[in-house]
């Protein structure tokens, strides 16, 4: 079930909110768990058992690792079981296919269907057991509360990756206030608008330009820009909606994006982009490997390991691995060679970052290495295409307004202007008065788009 669907917006969510707030506090987690399982089952009937198995397995392993005298052995078993489950469903056919290619064998593909969200809930449960092992949190003895944490529908299928320690207290007891609920509605509607009015529309442009009869170099650069903006507004919009829904139900999820497209370096970009994933790899892989408190050789090894895994986490395909290694190389170069130059020349640093981020999302989006090579040839004038054609020019002009709006919305300009205006007494009263009508109007516009359009994918559902 998509957050950006009529079924969710006008049936599932209102009914859930009604049931949730009429039951006593001791029943609220039960309502959330049942509704979350239904939410997941609606889109993943075949593999809901994988989610339930992950809940039972990590619930028991968390208790065992806390009580055991052989904590490290239990932890290794836990990691192996979780990664084994993830590896089978997500990577087994990738390994079979590459084995056949390298050794000229003919093993048949298993054609395993990957359960939705397995990468996200596997990382959540792994972080929980590791934190229990480290003594950061106590093992949860209440299976209902633990299952609610794992299955909580706002972040279940596409993140952000919520760590148990960040919501442990709220699972037991949380406050429900009108202020928090209103904040959640505002955040949800903004995320919904980012997804439907920006990501979906820009996604349509990239599809149109790829299928154009008269392609051009400029057209391929606009496709690269469209890829970047689409995935940013798609994923950050989903994160906004997840955080907003969490607020409605009394949870406080950490931020997952902080205007990454204004970054002045690739290092800065990854402090701002998919924060829950990058911080997960930092705390559970990079630091245990030694972080940067090792020799240069080992530090480079640590960076390569982390970014290889980051790329591979996104998908069982070579373009994702190349994407991860690509960022590892850039991060090493910034740290060791020209990082200080970028700090001194911030305007250059911004254009440098945008350029390499555009390139990265081309790698991220192509279906094969050959497709990527062809795409880059067309971008850089090696594919025999004209600079601009009448057809691509027409489509770019048709979408230029939405592209400009998206570029402005990817910065904090509008947010900062709004906050400055609210600091003025007269305007503050006026803006507070019209703000509810603004969000209602935005919701109505989104609803109209959803009714009229059939293009409504969530890109991160495939991870």
Residue 405, number of CB atoms within 10 A of its CB: 15
Residues 87, 312: contact at Cβ < 8 Å? Answer: no
pLDDT bracket for residue 458 (50, 70, 90): low
Structure tokens, 157: 């299928």
Arithmetic mean of pLDDT, 343-367: 96
Residues 85, 53: contact at Cβ < 8 Å? Answer: yes
Arithmetic mean of pLDDT, 18-31: 96
Report how far residue 65's alpha carbon sits from residue 274's, in angstroms, rounded to the nearest whole number: 30
Structure confidence at residue 66 (pLDDT): 95
Helix-helix angle 118-134:164-172, to 10 degrees: 90
Arithmetic mean of pLDDT, 110-115: 93
- Angle formed at CA 117 by CA 18 and CA 308, multiple of 5 degrees: 145
The tens digit of pLDDT for each residue in 383-429 reads: 999 999 999 999 999 999 999 999 999 999 999 998 888 888 778 87
The tens digit of pLDDT for each residue in 198-234 reads: 999 999 999 999 999 999 999 999 999 999 999 999 9
Does residue 461 surpass a pLDDT of 80?
no
> So where are the chain's domains?
6-174, 180-462
Farthest CA pair distance, the chain: 75
Residues 70, 57: contact at Cβ < 8 Å? Answer: no
Structure confidence at residue 430 (pLDDT): 81
Phi, psi of 298 (to 5 degrees): -70, -35
Structure confidence at residue 143 (pLDDT): 96
The tens digit of pLDDT for each residue in 270-293 reads: 999 999 999 999 999 999 999 999
Structure confidence at residue 456 (pLDDT): 59
**Distance (Å) of CA 157 to CA 43, 89, 116, 131:** 10, 15, 6, 22
Residues 272, 239: contact at Cβ < 8 Å? Answer: no
The tens digit of pLDDT for each residue in 312-331 reads: 999 999 999 999 999 999 99
Which residues belong to the active site? 314
pLDDT bracket for residue 380 (50, 70, 90): very high
Report how far residue 70's alpha carbon sits from residue 99's, in angstroms, rounded to the nearest whole number: 36
Report how far residue 223's alpha carbon sits from residue 211's, in angstroms, rounded to the nearest whole number: 11
Residues 126, 284: contact at Cβ < 8 Å? Answer: yes
- CA neighbours within 13 Å on the CB side: how many for 451? 7
Report how far residue 160's alpha carbon sits from residue 154's, in angstroms, rounded to the nearest whole number: 9
Structure confidence at residue 109 (pLDDT): 94
Sequence-distant (6+) residues with CB within 8 A of 297 are none
Mean pLDDT rounded to a whole number for the chain: 94
Does residue 462 surpass a pLDDT of 60?
no
Structure confidence at residue 157 (pLDDT): 86
Arithmetic mean of pLDDT, 112-132: 95
The tens digit of pLDDT for each residue in 135-171 reads: 999 999 999 999 999 999 999 988 799 999 999 999 9
Report how far residue 404's alpha carbon sits from residue 65's, in angstroms, rounded to the nearest whole number: 53
Arithmetic mean of pLDDT, 35-64: 94
Structure confidence at residue 423 (pLDDT): 82
């Amino acid at each position: 079930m998509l957050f950006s669907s009529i079924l969710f917006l006008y049936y599932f969510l209102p009914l859930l909110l009604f049931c949730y707030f009429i039951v006593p506090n001791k029943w609220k987690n039960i309502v959330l768990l049942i509704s979350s399982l239904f939410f997941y089952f609606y889109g993943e009937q075949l593999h809901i058992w994988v989610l339930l198995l992950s809940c039972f397995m990590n619930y028991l392993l968390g208790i065992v690792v806390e009580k055991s005298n052989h904590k490290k052995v239990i932890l290794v078993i836990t990691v192996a079981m979780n990664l084994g489950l993830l590896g089978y469903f997500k990577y087994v056919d990738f390994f079979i296919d590459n084995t056949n290619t390298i050794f000229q064998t003919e093993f048949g593909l298993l054609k395993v269907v990957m359960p939705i969200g397995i990468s996200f809930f596997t990382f959540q449960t792994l972080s929980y057991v590791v934190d229990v092992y480290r003594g950061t949190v106590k093992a949860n003895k209440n299976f209902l509360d633990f299952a609610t944490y794992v299955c909580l529908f706002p972040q279940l299928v596409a993140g952000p990756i919520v760590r148990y320690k960040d919501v442990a207290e709220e699972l037991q007891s949380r406050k429900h206030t009108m202020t928090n609920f209103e904040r959640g509605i505002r955040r949800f509607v903004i995320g919904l608008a980012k997804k439907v009015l920006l990501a979906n529309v820009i996604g349509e442009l990239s599809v149109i330009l790829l299928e154009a009869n008269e392609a051009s170099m400029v057209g391929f650069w606009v496709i690269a820009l469209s890829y970047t903006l689409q995935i940013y507004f798609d994923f950050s919009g989903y994160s906004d909606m997840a955080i907003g829904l969490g607020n409605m139900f009394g949870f406080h999820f950490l931020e997952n994006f902080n205007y990454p497209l204004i970054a002045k370096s690739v290092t800065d970009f990854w402090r701002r982009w998919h924060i829950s994933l990058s911080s997960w790899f930092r705390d559970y892989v990079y630091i245990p490997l030694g972080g940067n408190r090792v020799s240069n050789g080992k530090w480079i090894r640590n960076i390569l390991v982390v970014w290889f895994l980051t790329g591979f986490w996104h998908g069982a395909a070579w373009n994702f691995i190349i994407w991860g290694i690509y960022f590892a190389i850039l991060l090493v170069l910034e740290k060791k060679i020209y990082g200080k130059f970028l700090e001194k020349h911030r305007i250059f640093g911004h254009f440098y970052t945008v350029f390499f981020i555009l390139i990265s999302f081309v790698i991220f989006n192509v279906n094969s290495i050959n497709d990527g090579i062809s795409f880059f040839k067309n971008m850089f004038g090696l594919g025999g295409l004209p600079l601009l054609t009448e057809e691509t020019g027409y489509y770019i002009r048709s979408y230029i307004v939405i592209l400009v709006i998206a570029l402005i919305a990817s910065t904090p300009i509008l947010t900062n202007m709004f906050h400055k205006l609210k600091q003025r007494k007269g305007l503050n009263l006026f803006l507070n008065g019209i703000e509810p009508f603004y969000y209602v109007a935005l919701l109505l516009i989104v609803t109209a788009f959803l009714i009229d359009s059939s293009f409504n994918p969530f890109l991160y559902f495939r991870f």
